[in-house]
Amino acid sequence: MTKGRIRAKIRRSHLYTFGCIRPPADQGDAPTQFNGPGFSRIVHCNQPKPQDKRNAVKYCTNYISTTKYNFFNFVPKALFEQFRRVANVYFLLTAALSLTDIAPFSAVSMIAPLAFVIGLSMAKEALEDSRRFIQDMKVNTRKANFHKGDGEFGQKPWMKLFVGDVVKVEKDKFFPADLLLLSSSYEDGICYVETMNLDGETNLKVKRALEVTLPLDDDSSFKKFTGRIKCEDPNPNLYTFMGNFEYDHEVYPLDPGQILLRDSKLRNTAYIYGVVIFTGHDSKVMQNATKSPSKRSRIERQMDRIIYILFSLLLLISLISSIGFGAKTGYEMPNFWYLRPYDDSKFYDPTRPALSGFYHLVTALILYGYLIPISLYVSIEVVKVLQAFFMNQDIHMFDEDTGTPAQARTSNLNEELGQVDTILSDKTGTLTCNQMDFLKCSIAGCPYGTRASEVEFAAAQQMATDLEDEDDSDINKNVIDEIELETIITSGEDHRRVIKGFSFEDSRLLNGNWMKEPKSEQLLLFFRILSVCHTAIPEVNEETGEVTYEAESPDESAFLVAAREFGFEFCRRTQSSVYVRERYPSYDNPVEREFKILGLLDFTSKRKRMSVMIRGEDGQIYLFCKGADSIIFDRLAKDGRELEGVTTKHLNEYGDAGLRTLALSFRKLEEEEFSSWNEEFLKAKTAIGNDREARLEKVSEMMEKDLILVGATAVEDKLQKGVPQCIDKLAQAGLKIWVLTGDKMETAINIGFSCSLLRQGMKQICISATNAEGSEQEQKEAIKEDIMQQITDSSKMITLEKDPHAAFALIIDGKTLVYALEDDMKYQFLSLAVGCASVICCRVSPRQKALVTRLVKEGTGKTTLAIGDGANDVGMIQEADIGVGISGVEGMQAVMASDFAIAQFRFLERLLVVHGHWCYKRVAQMICYFFYKNIAFGLTLFYFEALAGFSGETVYDDWYMLLFNVVLTSLPVISLGVFEQDVSSDVCLQFPALYQQGPNNLFFDWYRIFGWMGNGLYTSLIIFYVSIFIFHHQAFRTDGHTADMATMGTSMFTCIIWGVNLQIALTMSHFTWIQHFIIWGSVFSWYIFLILYGLLPPDRSLNGYKLLVGALAPSPKFWLATLLITILCNIPYMAHISFQRTFRPLDHHVIQEIKHYKKDIEDRRMWNRERSKARQETKIGLSARVDAKIRQLKGRLTKKYSLIGMSPQH
């Protein structure tokens, strides 16, 4: 590449009217006068060491951290996180009580499990946070070129930069800190900055250095450079800056035009020099970030409430046990002389039964602790880590282009993925890939371009599928014919060479064929406007001779590529001319033509247009103007509106196809007219005062009028692969989607159409702030009143709408959001937004993104997910219940702050609809089952204690109780949480409405929770009392002996093992050899344990010595009792599930039966009908667009049939 050699000769500021106004040095603005709080920062340029000596405040380093913990706070903060869980507090208290004499178990048996659980959870937190630390260090150790001294530059890591350092940043590199621009590779100090990472804007920003620092344009010039900056303190405002620069005994005012922000990128400029003003967490982008929050899922928070309930149950039965023991001690203990009650007056004192009862209360609280299972948290941690592992290994979420897999950066929120209600998405880099393709155009009233946009192609595929799914009818066949007639779908195969920025297909304009068209003169004008009306710079590859363009926006680059393919190649630029290599009048013999640039009125978001005045080789002066159609149409001459009607029709069609449009126009100028205008223009350009921009705009209006419309362009803002289909699937799953972008409103609306968040026929509600007169306070009140009125009127309009198919879209900009997010208005705004099908917030700052996310999260009380790819998205990613980062090419800030990272937006569909659905259901079911089995086990301890006179004795051996949760029932519940699938991943994607089971909390509502608790209560009653009935008064051994406590306890425990493991087998819908091995292996391991335990010496095995082999196994009663009790325990669940599947089946029950009987293969029509029924009714996405199109075509055909007096069925 030429690497700036051509560009360095051009004073770029001459190309800009509004963006780079610099008054003469002797007429500049006066230095800003400020004192007091908020303006205390003093920077000594090129003298980093004196910063600390000359200032009372020590500025922070350039080291940044997005981690949750550090070396010093890890232990206390991680412990705090663990003891936010209510159950852990209970176990801590019981562990402390186990150190006393009243504990029924040894202290080690209580403390060791707690330490293991807490330690494992803290280790997981440390592991996940270490990944964030590694990513932080990748940023902190990036190399920066800094001035070492004596005019020499060297490299050091970003984190070692200090305030006052002079740095050199080269093209396509990120700025390491907030910098004051001193000079650039252009002689007039202009540089181009891409701020997409900060505010989502795709257009390049033009920054300019102070004229006094322009001589500092090489390394050696900094040998003796010193200066002093006094400016505002660190703050999050990206678009404001106030300060003064003291240099060479003069003071110069500073404004945002000289400030380069951290994480923005240098583009189209070989290099710049700058001095560091704000470092690290003082930089504006980091000021917009928030501390890494501690997030807990809704299920985990609800689990705390269940723990409260179980603790209340535990307290109740402990009180009953305590009262019973006190009564026994006071009334019956004196009669039990053989127990020698008076020997231990502390615990068994008949004279003080209340005190004995109190001590027994503590014993009971520990004894019945199995109702609150400590192993639950360990199991959940293990399950979530394994779920995260399988997410990371999902080949369907692996991006082959970048080699990037999905990454679950925290496993705490896996189940939360299945309960999302609202998605808040960034636009640039998340939905789009910041690439524009020239696709269609309208010239002289004739549309050109036969290739369908991605939206049209996807919609046509969806429409064809939907119509095939419906019952056959003549009208449907006619609709399909109508679709084919309208050529909605074009061939997906493309044998042309791929040209970046150019996807146009139409032989009428290519290869010089345009010269054969009837209106070739207007076509010639159109192509010349494309090739001349811009501010781009060509770069020539010296090896291949190929020309590439460095433009301020992707749109402009796409226009130049299109012009080149049409035969008008912009090849070079000088200070005063543009040269175009035209294949005209002969396509085979290109001619290089010069167009002299007489003036240029550049594009701004306020003007929404740009114009260039050129003199052709024939001496004629032209004004070429391109801009938003509404702006251009307002400026057309009376005789220039000939094409307005037909062009408007084409523009609407392009907009419905999701394309970005611009109108092109021209005007011939007389020499005298231009000369007189130019004098006025130069006066306005060099004027001094606050009205300079207004004067320039007024003069520009004088020239940009009486235009003649030539045509319009339609470019496709290339969406990331699969975005329309992903949004459609998420909409069918019942999710609401908001787009929050820093781009201007027109761009955001175009993307809304591209993504099918907007469509033709949808009623757009645009809330905007209008200017008001009066004092500042009066203006604010008037603006707020106006916005509130707009919100009120819009809400009424939605309420009064009677059309069931009507859809509303809310569009609001950042300026209006400032007022809409205030406390007295935000809930009215939220109510309006919730009533709309889609919401687009444009021109929003990073902080506003976070505030909108917080409003949705707190105002609706439902789960929110934020997704973005840049530093400007960090705030909303951290504020949302779930943050998803796109690991794109624009840095890793979003990923570093996220909970989950994916490479493409389309993977969000699988992350939520498949993994989210599975994880929610798995975790919900395993928690319910965990409580069920522990209630079933724990209550048998209470029943036996009541039977044994509240003695504190347990019916089970200590080893049984220890192994119950750790070995015998732990692996089946983990397999449930890791491998369970109610339906396969393909079915999840085909039936997206299944996802609503999560947001509706179908599997973890109180009805289901109490149902499982009731099932546990029933199971405990059956196991205990049926066992007592069978074994208590009847002979067990062949010699006539009845069953002793060891035999009774082991038999009951065997029934529990069989009952709960059979229950989990019945709960599972998806079996592999792994589940079979784990469930039946757990049951089998119980018998293995009994055999091995019985082989130990009697002093070790105690009552368990040869218990199975010698007593239980030979007894038919033992095996029959086990079989009978196991069946009785599971009868209620089998009855419930049979009734439900027969009379009130859930969606997944229906699908399971269809799959089981292979109806999806044998009867495709029924399968497709069920699929269409399983879609949530939505007003956004491709499906909504298709439904609207089908209704339109059916209406058109019905009308056609009615006109000819014929029924559509005939």
Residues known to be catalytic:
426
- Asked if residue 585 has a cis previous peptide bond (ω within 30° of 0), the answer is yes
CB–CB of 834/162 below 8 Å?
no
What is the CA angle 846-849-851, rounded to 5?
A: 110
CB–CB of 170/267 below 8 Å?
no
**Rounded to an integer, what distance in angstroms lies between the CA atom of residue 86 and that of residue 91?**
9
Which residue carries 């440390």 as its tokens? 126
Within 10 angstroms of residue 415's Cβ, the number of other Cβ atoms is: 28
Orientation angle between helical segments 474-485 and 1181-1203, nearest 10 degrees: 110
What is the CA angle 761-461-1170, rounded to 5?
A: 90
In sequence order, the 6+-apart residues with CB closer than 8 A to the CB of 1141 are: 1149, 1153
**Rounded to an integer, what distance in angstroms lies between the CA atom of residue 641 and that of residue 126?**
68
Secondary structure in 3-state letters for 851-872: HHHHHHHHHHCCEEEEEECCHH
**Rounded to an integer, what distance in angstroms lies between the CA atom of residue 1052 and that of residue 379?**
25
Q: Cα dihedral sign for 308, 314, 316, 319?
A: negative
**Rounded to an integer, what distance in angstroms lies between the CA atom of residue 995 and that of residue 736?**
13
Tokens for 324, please give them.
Answer: 């019973």
CB–CB of 163/277 below 8 Å?
yes
Residue 846, CA distances (Å) to 174, 748, 852 in order:
19, 16, 10
Burial label for 619, CB within 10 Å (0-12, 13-18, 19+), is: exposed
**Rounded to an integer, what distance in angstroms lies between the CA atom of residue 405 and that of residue 651?**
40
Tokens for 674, please give them.
Answer: 């231009």
In sequence order, the 6+-apart residues with CB closer than 8 A to the CB of 231 are: 39, 41, 43, 241, 242, 243, 244, 254, 277
Backbone angles phi, psi at 625, to 5 degrees: -135, 135
**Rounded to an integer, what distance in angstroms lies between the CA atom of residue 45 and that of residue 57?**
17
Tell me the chain's radius of gyration from C-alpha atoms.
37
- Read off the amino acid at residue 635: R
- Read off the amino acid at residue 254: L
3-state secondary structure at position 848: helix
Backbone angles phi, psi at 45, to 5 degrees: -70, 135
Burial label for 816, CB within 10 Å (0-12, 13-18, 19+), is: buried
CB–CB of 275/165 below 8 Å?
yes
Burial label for 220, CB within 10 Å (0-12, 13-18, 19+), is: exposed
3-state secondary structure at position 478: helix
Burial label for 1071, CB within 10 Å (0-12, 13-18, 19+), is: middle
Length, in residues, of the chain: 1210
Q: Cα dihedral sign for 290, 296, 298, 304?
A: negative
**Rounded to an integer, what distance in angstroms lies between the CA atom of residue 961 and that of residue 946?**
19
Backbone angles phi, psi at 228, to 5 degrees: -140, 130
Q: Are strands 660-669 and 863-868 parallel, antiparallel or unpaired?
A: unpaired
**Rounded to an integer, what distance in angstroms lies between the CA atom of residue 44 and that of residue 356?**
76
